[in-house]
Amino acid sequence: MSAYLLLFASGFIAATLFPASSEALVLTLQAKGYAPWGLFIAATSGNTLGACVNWYLGQHLVKFQHKRWFPLSPGALEKAQRQFQRFGSWSLLFSWLPVLGDPLTLVAGVLKVRFTLFLLLVASGKALRYALLLWFGVAVFAE
């Protein structure tokens, strides 16, 4: 499997409700000499697509929120909805944050945020995060 495809998959999984991270892999591949633009595109697109899955699940699975297998407890879902309504759609720019970001994208689906707005804000936030991470990697690995 190519390193870029592995990074795409890692970014995708990290954006879902599964506990995972893609940052270490980004920096490891960068240190091994992989092209920063390729890393940026693979990580950002995989992470954004994973968030889109959360949005879709929020749209369609909310009717099962009281089932034991539902990924968020009723309290966590209610807290995320309050936070989302407090800060609005702009909060999706922070969907890259650990712990908070993944439920935020699910709640955006529950609250029926328009997909085009969702995609624009989530992709922008995630792209900025990976751009800064790669910039940091350049500064560290250039020496």
> What pLDDT does residue 124 have?
97
> What pLDDT does residue 142 have?
66
At 49-90, the pLDDT tens digits run 999 999 999 898 878 877 887 777 778 778 777 878 888 899
The domain locations on the chain are 3-141
At 87-130, the pLDDT tens digits run 889 999 999 988 788 888 988 998 899 999 999 999 999 999 99
Single-letter code of the amino acid located at 132: L
Single-letter code of the amino acid located at 57: L
Closest CA to 7 of 114, 97, 134: 134
CA distance 137 to 30: 7
* pTM for this entry: 0.87
> What pLDDT does residue 52 have?
97
Are 12 and 46 spatial neighbours (Cβ–Cβ below 8 Å)? yes
